[in-house]
Structure 1
Amino acid sequence: MELLLGLLLGVIGVIGILLLLLLSCAIYYDLSRSKIPSGFDCPLKLRVIHCNVIMVIIVARCLELMGVCSQFAFTRFLLSFRNPRMDPSLSAKDLHFDGVPVRVYQPKTPSAGPRKGFVFFHGGAGMIGSIESYQDVCSKIAKETDSVVVSVGYRLSPEHLPPAQYKDCLAATIHLIQNAASHGVDPSKIIIGGDSAGGNYACVVAQKLVERSDLPKLRAQVLIYPNTQAMDINLPCHQQSNSMPILFRENVVYFGLKYIGKDTSLAGQVLKGSHVPDSMRLKYGKWVSPDNLPERFKARGYKQVPLAPYEPEVYRQLSELLEPDISCLFAEDSVIQKLPETLLVSCEYDIIRDDGLLYKKRLEDHGVKVSWFHVENGFHGVISLFDSGVFTFPAAVELMDSIIDFVKNL
């Protein structure tokens, strides 16, 4: 018995030492690599969250190198423990829309008529995130706007490479449009939206639907710091928030390459822009130009960096990055001008802030009505922290309020 107790204490001691080393590495990495601007209002809180993210990434990559599981499978496993309680004022049903898993949130209170419908696509670089991990976000929107919210559990990469993600989002949206009445939804008042990668899918789905004359038009789209282009990774936001937690510039490209199932050793060429053919630079350069950004977004420092010389072999391997199904900023004018009313939410300290601002400019130039809400103390991924106890960020509350106000006033 004493031997077993000694072994147990020894194992606990080893685990404790490993955890201490892991925490030390995370703290060192955060303090040595992260640069949080002096104007940011909750630096310590963000550093604590970032240290936790770093520890997860270290363990996940070690497990992948040892052949235990993929880094994304481990991250998803940890996220599966985050399952907020259901708001008692709502009912929720897990269904399948055209084969795509969804969760439908609906207010329990009777309605005088059909409600608005909001189809939500979660973020997570197309590789993590789930219906469960975004339950608090979707519940909040459903409750505060008195809308039916459909959270879409699209397939994840790298097990299912693109375009599986946007196709699932599109299929679920079309299903709701065609079966709106059975869910108590007005088919003329359907909104789509999402954050980060989910914002990208919302852009693509809206673009795919503009030519569907057999379906009612979308009422609006809600784009929460979406990624919209993979041509230039040296915009003002990339330089100003290069080392801002929780998403660094090099991580954007690393995860982008993982998402499309390509060799991450090509990250250097993407960061320099050598994957962009001269013909595309000529055609799309006018839409990606920093000249399209308000001057205020260059105030924290910006030096224009021209794209590196074109390397055909790199483009051959990565050509899908520049297709409108991923770089939705590059859709044709005939598509852009038909898009629905839009709410664009941007965050000052977001590494892809300017992607959304450039898309906003294209929409406005083609007569699309755009409401814009800029979160001054926001950063990438902040939406998930609007109701997290001591780790709640005021910026996340502001962001959620902007979405709720927009949807209520449609």
Structure 2
Amino acid sequence: MAIAYTFLVLFLSVFIAAFIFLVMGVINFDYCNSEIPPGVSQPVKLRIIHMILISTAVVGKILENIGICSQVSFVRYMQSRKTLGADQNLFIEDLCFDMVPVRIYQPKTPSASQRRGVIFFHGGGWVFGSLETHEKLCRWIAKESKSVVVSVGYRLAPEHKYPAAYEDCLNATLHFMKNIEHYGVDPARIIVSGDSAGGNLAAAVSQTLASRSDLPKLRAQILIYPSLQALDFNLPSYQQNRAVPLLFRERAAFYVLQYLNGDASFLEDVLQGTHIPSDTILNYRKWVNADYIPEKFRVRGYKPHVLLECATEVYEKTKKFCEPNLCPLLAEDAIVQQLPETFLLTCEYDVLRDDGLLYKKRLEDNSVPVTWYHLEDGFHGIINSFNSDWFSFSAGKRGVDNIVNFLKSL
């Protein structure tokens, strides 16, 4: 009995010490490596959320090192472990569209006319995210806009490399468009949408469908702080917000490399811009150019980046970054001109801000109607915390309200 008691005390002591060490390490890492500018909405909450994410990643790495599970698997599990029950206002059903998992949200209240159909692609850097992580957002959009929402559970990297996620999103969208009569959806009011990596996928799917004459034309696309290019990680927003949670500049490049081919060994080359030949970059300067970012977004600590010589080996591994299905900002004008009305949301303290601003210019230059909403106090990922109890952000709620209002206008 005494031995068992001694062992228990020892175990608890080790556990408490390890926990304290973890907390102290996380706090130290956060304060040493991250920066939360004064203008960020509710900075204390953001810092706490960031520490929780760091802790999850650290525990995942420990579990990976002792052979229990991979870090990626653990983080995915922790993100998706909360499930919501039935909703008295919605019919919710899990199905497969052309072998792609989807979750459909249909309002229960009768409608005198056919509803809008909103296809949603979740964010998470193509590596994380799931039907569960964006469950609250999809439910809210379905209820508040009285739309049928289809959330798509596409395959994730690095297990499934480009173009797997794009193909899943395209195939699920095609299936839905060809079978909309089953869901009471108006074929003239189909919208594709997504946040972050999901915004990338929504833009790519929208471009692919732009010239299809055998299907209904998309009514609109909703792009929420989308990732749209991988040529230049030295645009003003990447420099200004390089260490602002929840998406660091380095992680943005890391995730797109994971999606491309699961190989992050060229991360530093991508960050420095030596992954694409200078003549190719100069060719795309007509679209990817810091000079096209409005002056007010360049005044906060931006230095023009000098082009460096490209390494041939790196280019061979990353040349698919020039494909519009991977980087929609690089699509030709002939495609962009055919795109539907667009809602674009950007955040001031987000490395992806300028991807959105450059795409906004491209759309407007090609006479595509754009509704742009900019969260001056927003950061990357804020939309997902619009309604998360203590961790909710007022700026995120404003963003979601504007998305819903845009949908109601269609």
- The DSSP-based 3-state class of the residue aligned with 1:129 is coil
- What amino acid is the match of 2:156? L
Tell me the residue number matched to 1:152.
Answer: 152
2-side partners of 1:9 and 1:71: how far apart? 30
- What amino acid is the match of 1:234? N
Matched pairs, number? 410
2-side partners of 1:228 and 1:31: how far apart? 30
Contact 1:193/1:221 (8 A) holds in 2: yes
Tell me the residue number matched to 2:321.
Answer: 321
Shift of 1:85: 4.1
- What amino acid is the match of 1:174? L
Contact 2:35/2:244 (8 A) holds in 1: yes
User: Which sits farther off after the overlay, 290-299 or 63-72?
Assistant: 63-72
Tell me the residue number matched to 2:339.
Answer: 339
Shift of 1:394: 0.7
Tell me the residue number matched to 1:255.
Answer: 255
Q: Unpaired segments of 5 or more residues in structure 2?
A: none
- The DSSP-based 3-state class of the residue aligned with 2:193 is strand
Tell me the residue number matched to 1:365.
Answer: 365
- What amino acid is the match of 1:173? T
- The DSSP-based 3-state class of the residue aligned with 1:257 is helix
Alignment of 1:75-154 (within 5 A): 75-154=75-154
Contact 1:206/1:218 (8 A) holds in 2: yes
- The DSSP-based 3-state class of the residue aligned with 1:132 is coil
- The DSSP-based 3-state class of the residue aligned with 1:288 is coil
1:49 and 2:49 aligned: yes
2-side partners of 1:395 and 1:190: how far apart? 27
Tell me the residue number matched to 1:17.
Answer: 17
CA RMSD of superposed structures (Å): 1.3
Contact 1:114/1:181 (8 A) holds in 2: no
CA deviation profile, 1:322-353 (whole Å, cap 9, x unmatched): 32121110011111110000000000001111
User: What TM-score do the two structures reach when normalised by structure 1?
Assistant: 0.97
Shift of 1:89: 0.8
Alignment of 1:218-367 (within 5 A): 218-367=218-367
1-side partners of 2:311 and 2:65: how far apart? 31
Alignment of 1:19-34 (within 5 A): 19-34=19-34
Classify 1:112/1:231 alpha carbon distance in 2 versus 1 (closer, same or farther; 3 Å): same
Tell me the residue number matched to 1:211.
Answer: 211
Q: Unpaired segments of 5 or more residues in structure 1?
A: none
2-side partners of 1:262 and 1:14: how far apart? 37
Contact 1:336/1:363 (8 A) holds in 2: yes
- What amino acid is the match of 1:359? Y
1:401 and 2:401 aligned: yes
Alignment of 1:164-175 (within 5 A): 164-175=164-175
- The DSSP-based 3-state class of the residue aligned with 1:231 is coil
Shift of 1:2: 4.1
CA deviation profile, 1:176-209 (whole Å, cap 9, x unmatched): 1111111111111100100000000000000111
- The DSSP-based 3-state class of the residue aligned with 1:339 is coil
2-side partners of 1:78 and 1:41: how far apart? 25
- The DSSP-based 3-state class of the residue aligned with 1:227 is coil
User: Which sits farther off after the overlay, 235-244 or 12-21?
Assistant: 12-21
Classify 1:359/1:149 alpha carbon distance in 2 versus 1 (closer, same or farther; 3 Å): same
2-side partners of 1:284 and 1:66: how far apart? 46
Contact 2:187/2:216 (8 A) holds in 1: yes
Runs of 4+ in 1 over 4 A off after TM superposition: none
1-side partners of 2:65 and 2:163: how far apart? 27
CA deviation profile, 1:238-290 (whole Å, cap 9, x unmatched): 11111111211111122222222343231111111111123321321121111
- The DSSP-based 3-state class of the residue aligned with 2:265 is helix
Shift of 1:86: 4.2
2-side partners of 1:206 and 1:225: how far apart? 16
- What amino acid is the match of 1:294? P
- The DSSP-based 3-state class of the residue aligned with 2:133 is helix
2-side partners of 1:67 and 1:317: how far apart? 30
- The DSSP-based 3-state class of the residue aligned with 2:266 is helix
Tell me the residue number matched to 2:74.
Answer: 74
CA deviation profile, 1:209-241 (whole Å, cap 9, x unmatched): 112110000000000000000001011101111
User: What TM-score do the two structures reach when normalised by structure 2?
Assistant: 0.97
1:62 and 2:50 aligned: no
2-side partners of 1:265 and 1:342: how far apart? 36
1-side partners of 2:254 and 2:276: how far apart? 17
